[in-house]
Structure 1
Amino acid sequence: MQSLPNIVDTLAAEVPDNVWVKVPLSSLDGPEDEDLVWDDVTWRQLSRAVDTMAHWIDLHLGPLATKGETVAYMGVNDIRYPIVILATLKTGYTSLLTSPRNSQQGHSSLLTATSCHKFLYTDELQPAIQSITTTHLSPIKALQIPSLRDLLNPPSSQPPYPNTTPSPSEQDTTLILHSSGTTGLPKPVHIKAGTLNIIPSILSMPTPPGRVNMHEVLYRSPLMLSAAPMFHVMGLNLLLRSLYHQGPLVLLPPGQPPTAPLLIRAIAATNPTSMIAAPSLLEAMASTPAGLAAVSTLEHTLFGGAPLSPSAGNVLAKVTTLVNGLGSTEIFMAASLVPLDPVADWEYLEWNPAAGMHMQPTHDGTSDSHELVVRHLPDPRYQFVFCNFPRLDEWRTRDLFVRHPQREGLWRYVGRVDDVLVLSNGEKMNPVAFEKAVESHATVKGAVVVGAGKFQVGLILEVEGEGEEEDREGILDEVWPCVEEANMPYPAHARVWRTMVRLAVEGKPFVRGAKGSVLRRKTWEVYEREIGEMYDQEAVVEKEGENEEMLEIVRKAVREVMAARKDEVTDEQNLFHLGMDSLQVLQLSQVLGRRCRHVSQAQAFRMIYDQPSIERLTRAITAAGSKLGGTHPVETSSREEKMSRMVHTYSRELPRASTTLATHGNRPSPDGLVVVLTGSTGSLGSYVLHRLIENNQVAHVYCLNRTADGAERQARAFSDRGLGPINFLVTAHPKVTFLHADLAEERFGLEPATYQKLQQRTDVVLLNAWPVNFNSPLDGFESAVAGTRRCVDFAASATRRPHVVFVSSIASVLNYPAVRLDTTKTGDGNDGVVTTSIPEEFELDNSLPLKQGYGESKHVASSILANAARVSGVGVTILRAGQLAGPVDGQGVWNRQEWLPSLIATSKSLGKIPASLGAGDDVIDWLPVDLAAGAILDLSLVHVPGSGNPALDCFNLVNPRTNQWSVVAQAVREFYADCGVSIDVVSYDEWLDDLMAVHAGGVMTGDQVERYPALKLVEFFQEKSLKGAGAGGRVTFATERIVEQSLTMAGVAAVNGEMVKRWLSAWAF
C-alpha cells in the first residue's frame, strides 16, 4: 500500500507539470483584489511545498516522541490543509484536523482524547489559538506555520525531504477527523490507511447495467469546483480524488467565505465540469439569474450534508444534473447511483446493491420512516466504515428516509433518529441537552427547538401560567440567562438567538407522550404556522441612540453576535478569520439593518462579505449614509432572465452535428415526402393538413394529437370548414395516420416501434401546435417548450434528418421597436410617423418579444431551435405568423372568440365602431388562414432534406400587401346598413369608454357577454388605447424573401371590403 506522500512524489516525478488544483493566488495580496485570476498549482509545486513544510516541522517540532504522535492543525480554508496533512505523514506525525467552528470546550476535548500537545495554525487564527491554549488544562505548544506564498516558493537551495515514509498497514492511522459535535462534544475519528485504499477500488464496484455510481462523478469529473471546507470529510475526499485519480480541483480564494457571487466568478474563470457545494449555497445560486446561468454550464452539481429546498432543487435540476450525496466522517460517501431521471428524482437517493445498504423500518408509529444501516460484507473493498471499525457487523447511520411514493428503491432523507436538526447550510444541532437545560428554569414548562431545513435555530417556550406574546420581553429577560448558559457548549451555528424565541400560544399545549415528555416532531406540526411566521419576520432589534458614533455601533453589534470571541475582536481584523459563519453574518446584518436607518438588512448582508472588518464595515455604512436614501426593492428575475433560464434548460446536451449524420445521404424519400404535423385539428392546422393531402409530393402525413379521438375531431374540423365531408379522411385518404401523442413526453408518448417508424420515414416536422393563452406567464407554456426540445431530439437522431418548420408568432418580436430605436426607425416623409421594419432573420435577443407569456414562449422555442441548428445541424425554418384572418375560399369561419370578431360583434351592439385601432397605426397586414397554410406548405417543401438551404431560416408570415383599418370599418358599416343596423364611426377612446360603461354595470350576465364579447378581452383593448402593437410607432415586416420563395405569398392580395363582408356573413352576428 503506497503512502500518500509517496503518491505525490511519484506524480511530481512522472507528470510534474500536470495541474493539481486551480486557485486564485493573487488573492493572497489582499482581500480587495477585484481581478481574481485562477492559477495552476502543479504536482511539482505541491511536492516542493510538502517538502518545505516537512523541513519546517523537523526544525520547529523536533524529533517524534512516539510514532504517529498527534499534531493538531487549524487554519483558513486553503491548500495548506493538504500540505500539512502530507508533511506530517512524511515526518511521522498524525494530523488532527479540528474545526474552527468548535467551541473551546470542543477543542479541549479533542486535544485531550488524542493526547495532543502540539498545535499548528495560520496567522489569521492566532486569537482563537491563544484562547484554546490558555484554557486547556495541559500545556500546548502552538506554532504559526509559514504563509502559503512561502510554501509554494521555497528557496532554490532547499533540498528534497528524504522520502523515508514506510508503506502503511491497513490499520495505521493516517489522520484524525472528528464527529460534528451535535450530540455533545465532538469525538475523534481515526481514519485508517485501509480506508483511504478503498478510493482506487470503489470505481470497480459492480453497478447495475446502464447506471452510474455517484463516485464515478465525484472522482472522475474532469474539473471539479469545490466549496467544501478542507477540515471536513468531504475536503479529504476531494484531496484523495486528486491523488488517486488525478482529478484537478478548482478552489475558492484562500480565507474568503464561499458565496454565490464568488462561485459565479470561479465558474466563469475556470469552466469546471462539476461543482460540489452546500445546499444553502446552491439555494443562493438558484435565486438569481446569474447564479442559475452559471450552474447551467455544469454537467453535474453535487450536494450533501443537508436537504436542498424543493423550490431551489426543482429549478436547478432543469439546468444541471443534481447529484445528492450522503456522507459522514465514519462512512465517507455512501454508494448511491445517479438518478435515472435527474429532473424528477434529484431529491432521492438510490443505493448501489453491492454496497450492503439496508433500510430498516423505525416502527415509531408516526411515519413510513426507515433508518439506513450498512451491513458488513465479506468483500471489504467497497465499505469505508468497516476499515475504521473492523469489529462491527453493521453500522447504524441513524439517518432516516422515506420511500418514493411510486418508484421502488428511491429514498428521500427526512432527518435523524436522534432528532438532530439539520440546517439549510448543512450545519447540525442536537437540541436535547439544550431543551433540558432551558426546561430547568422554574418558569419554563417546556422547550422545543425548531429550525430543521432553516438557516438558524429557534426556540418555542411553554411557560407556567398564561404567558402571552405581549409579555415576551419580560419573560425572556427572566429566562434569557438560562438560555445563554444552555448555548455555551454549542458551536455558533447551533446557538439560539434572542430574537428567535417565541412563547407557546394559549390553547395550543405542547404534544406530550405517555411519560409526559414533549414529542418534538408532533409539536412542530402543531406549531407549523407559528414557526413559518417566525422565519418570515425580520428580527426586532432596538435602535441605538441617534448620537452614538457609527464605529461604536458596529463594534457593539459585532461583539454581541460574536460573543464567544468578543475579547479577540479588533477593529482591523477580518471577521471571517475569527470564525464568523453564515448564521452570524445574517444576525449581524439584521442588527445593523435595524440600528442604522440608511442601511437595509440586504445591504448590510452584502457589506459584511465585501468589507469584513469593523473598520471597513463602518466606512461602508457611513458612505451609504452620505448618499440619498431610497427604497430597497427585492431582487427579482427579469423576463429576459426567465427566458434565458428556460432556453438554457432545454438547450442542455444538444446532440452534436457530428453524431447526427443521416444514414441515407440526407435525401428525401424517393416515394414522396413524409410529414409529421402537430396541431392539425385547429383552424390553421386543418388548412395545412388539407394542403398536404392534396399535394402530390407528399406521400404520407402523421398527425400527432393530444387526444385519442384525433381522426373524429379532424373530420368535424374539415366538415365545418367545407374541406370535405364528415367521412372524408377515413375513406378517401389513407395517406393520413392519426397518433395519440404528447410531445413533451419521451418518444412523444408513443410506442417504441411507432416512434422508430417515424424516425425512419420522416422528411419534415411541421410544429404547429401551441397553447393560446394571452394571460398565461411564460412558465405556463413550459410543456410546449419541452415538446420543442423533444422534436429537436427526434429530428437529430432520425434517419433522414427531417427539417423542422416551426409556426411562431410576430408576438415574439413585437418589442423590437422599443429596443432598436436608434438604428432602425425612420420617418416615412408623409405623415411623420416613425416606422420600424422587422427583418426576416432570427435573433437570440430576449428583449425582443412582446411582454406577455405567449410571445415569450414562442421566442424561447425559436431560440432552442436556433441552438439546435447551430449545434446539432438540424434544419430549422421559423415562420412568424401575424394576424391570420378568415379564409378567402370555402365556407370556413374566422374564430368568433378572437379579438377582431369580438370587436365587431360589440360594435354592432354599441352602434359604434372605432375609427382606429388605438394609439398605434392602422395598417392591416392580415393574412387569410387558407393562404397562410399554402405559404407554410411552400416553405416546408422548399426546405426538405438535401435542398441546400441554410440550417436556420426565418420568415415573417404576414401579408406583404397592406390596407387601412378604415377599409374594414367602412365594410362593417355598409354590411350592417344593408341589414338595417346603423353604426357610427367614433374615436377609439369613445368606443372604449362605452365598453367600460357596460363593464362597470355590475355582474356580467351570459346575455351581456354574448352581445358584448369584447368584455372578455377588456384588458387587451385597454392596452391598445395606451400603445400600439409596436410600442413606439408604425411597425412593418420585411417580406421580400418569403415572397421570393413562396408562390402563394407572391400572389396574395391585400385584405379588402369584399373579404370583410364575407367574414361578416359567416359570423352572422
Structure 2
Amino acid sequence: MAPSALSPLRPLAVLSSKTQTNSLTATVTTHELCSCHSNPHTIDELIRSRSKDTPHEHILSYPVVGTEYIDYTFRQLDVFASRVARIYASLMPQRTCSSDTEIVVGLLGPSNLEYFISILALTKLGHSVLFLSTRLSTPAYSSLLQATAAKHILVHNSFRETAEQLQYELPALQVHEISNRKNFEYPIGDAVEKTRFDQNLDPEAESTKIAWIIHSSGSTGLPKPIFQTHRAALRNYSSNLNLKGFITLPLYHAHGISSVFRAIHSKKHIYMYNADLPLTQQHLLRTLHRYDFQVFYGVPYALKLLGESEEGIAALAKLEVVMFGGSACPDSLGDRLVQNGVNLISHYGTTETGQLMTSAREPGDKAWDYVRLPQAFKQFVSFEPKGADVYELVALEGLPSKVASNREDGSYATKDLFTPHPSIPDAWKYLARSDDTIVLMNGEKVTPIAFEQSVRDSKYISEAVVFGSGKARIGMIIIPAPITSGKSIGEIENMIIPVLAEANKLMPAYAQLSSDMVRILPHDTDYPRTDKGTVIRPAFYRAFDTQIADIYDSVELCSGELCLSQSELRYYLRNAMSKLLSPSTMNLLDDTTDFFSIGVDSLQAIQLRSVLGKNIDTGGKKLTSNVIFDFPSINLLAGELYRLRTGGISTICSTTSQMQELVEKYSTFENHIPIDTPKNGQFIVLTGATGSLGAHLASQLSLNPDVKRIYCLVRAKSTSQARLRVVNSLRERGLYHLLSSAARFKLTAIPANFSQQYLGLQQDTYTKISSEITTLIHCAWSVNFNLALSSFEADCIAGAHNLLALCLKAGKLEPATFNFCSSVSAVAATKGGFVPEALPESFDFAQSMGYAQSKLVTEHICMNAAKSHGIKARILRVGQVIADTVHGIWNATEAIPLMIQAGSTIGAIPRLDESPLWLPVDVVASTVSEISLSTAGAGVMNVVNHQSFHWTQDLLPALHKAGLQFSEPSQQEWIQMLRKSNPDPATNPPIKLLEFFASKYDNGKPKKGLVYDTSYARFLSPSLAAASKLDQQLVDKFVQRFRDTSWTASPSANPTKTVIFIAGPCGAGKSTIAQAISQQLNISCIEGDSVHSPNSITKMASGTPLSDHDRWEWLEMLKATALLRMHAENQACIIVTCSALRQSYRAELRNSRVYKSLFVMLEAKKEVLVSRIQRREGHFMGDSMVKSQLEVLEAPGIDETDVVPVDVSGSEEEVLEEVVGILESVVF
C-alpha cells in the first residue's frame, strides 16, 4: 500500500527507513453533519456520504512523483474539494436555488489529481462540468463552449495559449487556472471543515440537473456535447466490477470518468496513472509490480506495450480482470494475451448510452473479442442488419443509461457495426464505425469529415477521401475536378498544395497529412457513391485497396536521385527540417542537436524519412523504418545517408591507395630542438578524457605521485565547458568522488581543436604546455563506424599529426613520448590468423570501415615519426574494452551489451563459436598508463587479454547465473528472431543494430578469431600480465548495472524529483553557495541549520558536538521538509544545506524511493574553514566546531557516486560557476 497523503504530524508521510509504518491516516475527531442518503441524489452527495460513512478508508491514489503513489481517503477527497470549491466560488457564482440555471464550466487539462478535485469542487457548487479532450483543435473547443453556453473555463498552464485563442474568439469567456495541489493538499486538523454547499438546493430537483457534459469524437464533423444528469450518472456508476483497480484512461473520456466513480460507488480503491508520465512499458510495469491490483483499465495501446515482453504479459496474467476500451484490440495481441492466461475483457459502451456490454465470460471461453449482451439489456438494444452478417447497434428508448437520442422514436443509432458469433448466443464482435472515424495504429482517432469537406471545397477537386485505419499515419486519395483536364499531375499538385495546407489547420498534430501520402487519380475516375453523390467509404476502400497499398509501399521505397556529399546532405537536411519545424524550434537546431530533444515527434520523423527516400540517392538501399530514431541529428543522419550511397562504391585498391596517400601527407615534421631542463616529474597531455578509457586514465594518472599535471585537451567552446565535460565524464564512470583535492588539482581541462596546427590553443597556452610536456596519451577518436576514411582526415588523422608535432616541440632533451591508443580493428583482417606486435604487412589487413582504416593510417604515421625524428611513439592497439571491475559500468548502447540485452527484449542470445579476449576498462587504463610512463622505445603493443573465454561455454552460463533467462538459438536463428521482434528501439534497443548484427551473423559460418602476440605489452605492463579472463563476479556486476540503469525490461525505481544537498563542514560556505544557486537556477532552498531542534542548536552554540541521535533526528526532518516543500511548490528539485559528513548520514539522506540525491561536497583546508567561521557574526557555530566536524568527516565511499566534491578555496564566482555547471548537466 502506498503511504497516505497527509497527516497532522508528517505531511506527505515521509517515513525514514527507521520508521516501520506503511501509512498514516489523517486524524479527524469530528464530522460535519450532512443530509446524505443511502441512494444519493448528486455526485457531491455520493462523496459526502462516503466521507461520513467511511472517512478514513483509502479510495483513490495518485502519484506525488513518478510512480510513487499517495493514498487518499474519502474524507480527504471531500475536504480537498471543499477547499477548492471556496476558491472557485470567488471566481464564478455558486448556485443557491434549484431553479437557477446550471453554470457550465469547461475543464481543460491533464487527468491529474488537481483535475479530479476540480471536478468534485464544481459539483459542490452545483455547476455542470464540460469535459474537454486535450486533443481537440481550437475550433472544436470553441464549438463546444458555444453549444453549451459555457462562460467559464478552467485550464491547466500547458493550455494557456489555447485559452487565450479561445478568449479572443469568445470575448465573454472567462478563463481561470485549475487550482494546484498546494491550495488544497495540506493537513486536515481536528476542526470541522465545512464540505456541504447545497443546503439551499432541492435534492430531488438537483438529481435531474446536468452533472457532466462529455463530447462525442466528432465523427460527422465537429464534436457534439452529450449531457448526463446526476441521476443517470449515478445509475451508471452503480454497475461495477467491485474490484481494486488501476486506470490509465483520461478522465475526460466517458470510460475514464465512469471507471473512477464506479470505484467510489463500490468503495473499491482505484489508482490513477500519472498524467505527467508518458505511457510506457517501464512505467506500467513499475506500477503493476509495486502495487496490488485486481483490475486494469486501459486502451489497446497500453496492452500492446505490456504485451511486448514476457514480464508484461505475466503482470497482466496476475490480475483478475484486464479490461480495455476506446478502440479495437488487434486479434493477434488479444490472442497472445489470452493464451498466456490473461483474463482479457473487452468493454463496449458509448458516451450516449453508457456501458452496454463486456466480453466477461466463463472459464475456458477464449472468445475475448466477442462482447456479450446482458439479459437485462435485451429489451433495450436492437441490432439492425447493414449487410451480410453486419449489424448496427441501436439503443432503444427506455435504456436507463441512455442520455441521447438521434431518431424520432427516441432511440440512439450508435453507428457501431458488429458481427455475431457463429455459435455463442448474444455474443458480438465489433467491426468498425459506420461514421468513418479512422483509428490509427496507436489508438488515436482521426475524424476526416471536416478535413475532406475543406479539401472538396476547392474548385479543383471533386472528391477527397482520407484513409489510414490501423496505419501509422493517414493518407488521401484525390479525384480532381473536370476543369483540371489536360493538366499534368505536377500542375494539379501545385494547385492543391495551398488547399491541403489550409485543411491541415483543422487537424490535430498526430493527424496531419503530408504531401507524400496523397495520390491524385484521373479526373474521370469512377468511384462508389450514393445517388446523392456521397462517397461510400467502405466500398471506396475496397475499390482502391491496391492504390492505397501502393502509397504505403512507395514511402518505404528509396527512389531518390540526389547524389550529395556530406556537407550538401547537411544543408539539405537543415532545409528539410525547416519545413517540418516552427522557426522557434529551428533556432534550437544545430548539426549535433538530437531531433527529439527539441520536440520532433514520431509523425515528423516518418515524414522526414519519406522525404529522404523520395529524393536522396541511397545507393538502392532501403532506409530502415527507424532511421531517424537511430540517427537523430543532422550530422548522424547525413553520415548514414552518405554511407548508404557510398558503401558499395569504394574498392580495396582505391582505399589502399588513399591510405598510403594520407600516410605520406602527414609524415612530415619539424625536428626536435633539445633543451636541457631539470626533471621535475611527469607532465602529461591527455586526449579523450570525456570517454570511458580516457576518464579512467585521468583518474589513475592523477593518483600517481610522479604525475604533476595532466592537461586534458577537450572539444569544448570554453575552459569552463571543457572542465565540466571532464568532471562529468569522471563522475559518470564512478571516479570523480574518489579523487582527493590534490588529485583533482592536477587535472587541467583546456578546450582544443585537433584539426588546427596549434590544436586551437592560445599561443601562451601552447608554449607553456610544450615547455612542460613529457608524455602525451592520445585516446580521442571519432567513433562512427559508418563514416568513410576521408571523414576521419581533418579531425583524427591530421589531429594525430598535430599532437605528434607538439611532442616534438617539448622543451626537454628528448621529445615527449607519444602514446597512441589504436584499435585491433586496424588489423582485424590480418591473414594467417596471427597478429604480431608490429605494423601489418598490408593496408588490406584493416577492417573494411573508415574508423579502422584511419587507425592504421595513424599507426604508420607514428612509426614514420619515430624513424625520422627519434620520438618514442608507442602504438597501443586496444582490443574489446568492457565494464570496469569496480562498478560494472558499460555503455549499454554498444554492440555486445545490446546482444546481451536481447536476452531480455526478445528472450534470446545466440550461441557463438567465438573466444573473445575482453579486458575491463580500468585494466586497459592501467596498462596504457604503465606503458606510457615506462622508458620503452617506439613500438607496437597489443593491449588485449592473453586469456580467452568461450562465448557459448563460458559467457552464456555466466549470464544465466547472473539471473538472465533466455534461449540460445543459432546465430542465424537469432537474427531471424530479431528481425521479427518489436521494431521500436525505445523498448527493444537491440533492433537498432539489426543490420550490423545481420552482417556478422546471418550466416552459418563460425567467426574465426585472431591470435594476438602480447608478450611485449605484458613485459611493460604488470597489470596486463596479471589480467584474468572473464569471471562470474564481473558478469554479475555489469548485468546488475544494466538492470539498474538501462534495461527498461526490468523496471526499477526511477524518481523524477531530485534533492541537491550542499554538503561539507562548517565554514565551507554551504549557505552562501546554496543561496546563490537558488537564485541563479530559480530553485527553492532549505537552510538545513534551521531544521535543527532547539536542543541541538544550544549544543552547537556551546561547542558541544551533536550525538548520533541528534543527527538522525535532524536527517529525518530534513528529508520530510524537503519533500513537503517540493510537493507544496510542485517542484522537481530543491536545494538543502546539510553537512552530511559521514557515509552513514549520506546513506540515510539518499534512502528514498521518491527522490534521487546529489551531494555537492564543498571542501577546503582547515585554516580556510576556521578563518571563515571567525569572520561570521551571530552564528551559533564556533571555530571549535571545525575541528570536530573534520574529525567526523568521511571521504566518499566507492559506491557513493552521487557525491561531487568541489574545492571552495577559490572565489565565490569560480565555485558558483563550477557548481551550477555540474547541476545543469546532471540534474536539468
Task: Provide TM-score, normalisation by structure 1.
Answer: 0.50
Inter-partner Cα distance in structure 1 for 2:607 and 2:533: 38
Please name the residue that 2:296 is paired with. 275
Inter-partner Cα distance in structure 2 for 1:195 and 1:515: 39
Inter-partner Cα distance in structure 2 for 1:592 and 1:151: 46
**Residue among 105, 118, 121 paired with 2:139:** 105
Pair 189,423 (structure 1): closer, same or farther in 2 beyond 3 Å: same
Please name the residue that 2:245 is paired with. 223
Inter-partner Cα distance in structure 1 for 2:372 and 2:312: 28
Is the CA contact 2:907–2:967 (under 8 Å) kept in the aligned structure 1? no
Q: Secondary structure at the match of 2:105?
A: strand
Please name the residue that 2:369 is paired with. 347
Inter-partner Cα distance in structure 1 for 2:176 and 2:155: 6
- Report the alpha carbon displacement of residue 279 of structure 1 after superposing the two structures with TM: 1.9
The answer on 1:192 being equivalent to 2:232 is no
Inter-partner Cα distance in structure 1 for 2:552 and 2:343: 30
The answer on 1:73 being equivalent to 2:107 is yes
Q: 1:976-995 maps to which residues of 2 (within 5 A)? A: none
Please name the residue that 2:470 is paired with. 453
1:98-126 Cα deviation digits (max 9, x unpaired): 22222222222222222221121122221
Inter-partner Cα distance in structure 1 for 2:912 and 2:1007: 17
- Report the alpha carbon displacement of residue 173 of structure 1 after superposing the two structures with TM: 1.3
Please name the residue that 1:144 is paired with. 177
The answer on 1:329 being equivalent to 2:355 is no
Query: Aligned letter for 2:223?
Result: P
- Report the alpha carbon displacement of residue 192 of structure 1 after superposing the two structures with TM: 0.7
Please name the residue that 2:126 is paired with. 92
Please name the residue that 2:662 is paired with. none
**Residue among 777, 784, 796 paired with 1:628:** 784
Pair 279,88 (structure 1): closer, same or farther in 2 beyond 3 Å: same
- Report the alpha carbon displacement of residue 427 of structure 1 after superposing the two structures with TM: 4.0
Is the CA contact 2:417–2:431 (under 8 Å) kept in the aligned structure 1? yes
Please name the residue that 1:252 is paired with. 273
Inter-partner Cα distance in structure 2 for 1:87 and 1:421: 36
Inter-partner Cα distance in structure 2 for 1:532 and 1:335: 35
Is the CA contact 2:555–2:610 (under 8 Å) kept in the aligned structure 1? no
Query: Aligned letter for 2:784?
Result: L
Please name the residue that 1:161 is paired with. 194
Query: Aligned letter for 1:258?
Result: L
Please name the residue that 1:47 is paired with. 78
Is the CA contact 1:359–1:370 (under 8 Å) kept in the aligned structure 2? no
Is the CA contact 1:306–1:423 (under 8 Å) kept in the aligned structure 2? no
Q: Secondary structure at the match of 1:108?
A: helix
- Report the alpha carbon displacement of residue 308 of structure 1 after superposing the two structures with TM: 1.5
Inter-partner Cα distance in structure 2 for 1:519 and 1:642: 44
- Report the alpha carbon displacement of residue 511 of structure 1 after superposing the two structures with TM: 3.5
Inter-partner Cα distance in structure 1 for 2:911 and 2:626: 36
Comparing 627-636 with 278-287, greater Cα deviation is found at: 627-636
- Report the alpha carbon displacement of residue 401 of structure 1 after superposing the two structures with TM: 0.8
Inter-partner Cα distance in structure 2 for 1:351 and 1:488: 41
Inter-partner Cα distance in structure 1 for 2:484 and 2:381: 44
Q: Secondary structure at the match of 1:317?
A: helix
**Residue among 46, 52, 55 paired with 1:7:** 46
Comparing 86-95 with 55-64, greater Cα deviation is found at: 55-64
Is the CA contact 1:233–1:328 (under 8 Å) kept in the aligned structure 2? yes
Query: Aligned letter for 1:57?
Result: Y
Inter-partner Cα distance in structure 1 for 2:573 and 2:1004: 52
Query: Aligned letter for 1:300?
Result: V
Is the CA contact 2:914–2:1008 (under 8 Å) kept in the aligned structure 1? no
**Residue among 208, 211, 216 paired with 1:171:** 208
Q: Secondary structure at the match of 2:519?
A: strand
Query: Aligned letter for 1:502?
Result: R
Query: Aligned letter for 1:523?
Result: F
- Report the alpha carbon displacement of residue 431 of structure 1 after superposing the two structures with TM: 3.4
- Report the alpha carbon displacement of residue 133 of structure 1 after superposing the two structures with TM: 0.7
Query: Aligned letter for 1:46?
Result: L
- Report the alpha carbon displacement of residue 351 of structure 1 after superposing the two structures with TM: 0.9
Q: Secondary structure at the match of 1:142?
A: strand
Inter-partner Cα distance in structure 2 for 1:94 and 1:453: 36
Q: 1:222-241 maps to which residues of 2 (within 5 A)? A: 222-224=244-246, 226-241=247-262
Inter-partner Cα distance in structure 1 for 2:552 and 2:312: 24
Is the CA contact 2:913–2:1006 (under 8 Å) kept in the aligned structure 1? no
Is the CA contact 1:493–1:581 (under 8 Å) kept in the aligned structure 2? no
Query: Aligned letter for 1:589?
Result: A
Please name the residue that 1:58 is paired with. 89
Is the CA contact 1:196–1:240 (under 8 Å) kept in the aligned structure 2? no
Query: Aligned letter for 2:82?
Result: D
1:671-712 Cα deviation digits (max 9, x unpaired): xxxxxxxxxxxxxxxxxxxxxxxxxxxxxxxxxxxxxxxxxx
Which sections of structure 2, spanning at least 5 residues, go unmatched? Answer: 1-38, 590-596, 633-716, 718-724, 726-780, 788-892, 920-949, 975-1002, 1010-1028, 1030-1228
Inter-partner Cα distance in structure 1 for 2:232 and 2:395: 15
Is the CA contact 2:381–2:396 (under 8 Å) kept in the aligned structure 1? no
Q: How well do the aligned residues superpose, as a CA RMSD in angstroms?
A: 5.5
Inter-partner Cα distance in structure 2 for 1:25 and 1:592: 38
Pair 505,61 (structure 1): closer, same or farther in 2 beyond 3 Å: same
Please name the residue that 2:580 is paired with. 557
Pair 554,20 (structure 1): closer, same or farther in 2 beyond 3 Å: farther
Q: 1:968-1047 maps to which residues of 2 (within 5 A)? A: none
Pair 644,354 (structure 1): closer, same or farther in 2 beyond 3 Å: farther
1:844-863 Cα deviation digits (max 9, x unpaired): 974466659999xxxxxxxx
- Report the alpha carbon displacement of residue 524 of structure 1 after superposing the two structures with TM: 1.0
Inter-partner Cα distance in structure 1 for 2:1008 and 2:433: 59
Inter-partner Cα distance in structure 2 for 1:130 and 1:643: 48
- Report the alpha carbon displacement of residue 97 of structure 1 after superposing the two structures with TM: 1.6
Task: Provide TM-score, normalisation by structure 2.
Answer: 0.44
**Residue among 54, 57, 78 paired with 1:18:** 57
Inter-partner Cα distance in structure 1 for 2:537 and 2:81: 49
Query: Aligned letter for 1:480?
Result: I
1:332-359 Cα deviation digits (max 9, x unpaired): 2113341346774222212112113677
- Report the alpha carbon displacement of residue 130 of structure 1 after superposing the two structures with TM: 0.9
Inter-partner Cα distance in structure 1 for 2:476 and 2:902: 40
1:582-634 Cα deviation digits (max 9, x unpaired): 9x9321333566799999874866999xxxxxxxxxx9xxx9x9973669999
Which sections of structure 1, spanning at least 5 residues, go unmatched? Answer: 28-35, 203-214, 561-565, 573-579, 609-618, 646-811, 823-831, 856-1020, 1033-1069
Q: Secondary structure at the match of 2:65?
A: helix
Q: Secondary structure at the match of 2:601?
A: helix
1:918-952 Cα deviation digits (max 9, x unpaired): xxxxxxxxxxxxxxxxxxxxxxxxxxxxxxxxxxx
Is the CA contact 2:211–2:230 (under 8 Å) kept in the aligned structure 1? yes
1:213-251 Cα deviation digits (max 9, x unpaired): xx43xxx22232x11111111121022123201222222
Q: Secondary structure at the match of 1:47?
A: helix
Inter-partner Cα distance in structure 1 for 2:165 and 2:956: 71
Is the CA contact 1:361–1:368 (under 8 Å) kept in the aligned structure 2? no
Q: 1:247-326 maps to which residues of 2 (within 5 A)? A: 247-319=268-340, 320-326=342-348
Pair 257,536 (structure 1): closer, same or farther in 2 beyond 3 Å: farther
Query: Aligned letter for 1:333?
Result: Q
Inter-partner Cα distance in structure 2 for 1:120 and 1:299: 37
Inter-partner Cα distance in structure 1 for 2:598 and 2:264: 30
The answer on 1:485 being equivalent to 2:511 is no
1:484-533 Cα deviation digits (max 9, x unpaired): 33344444455433332223489975344556553321221133244345
- Report the alpha carbon displacement of residue 15 of structure 1 after superposing the two structures with TM: 3.4
**Residue among 503, 506, 525 paired with 2:542:** 525
Q: 1:749-768 maps to which residues of 2 (within 5 A)? A: none
Pair 836,547 (structure 1): closer, same or farther in 2 beyond 3 Å: closer
Comparing 149-158 with 432-441, greater Cα deviation is found at: 149-158
Is the CA contact 1:119–1:141 (under 8 Å) kept in the aligned structure 2? yes
Inter-partner Cα distance in structure 1 for 2:429 and 2:538: 18
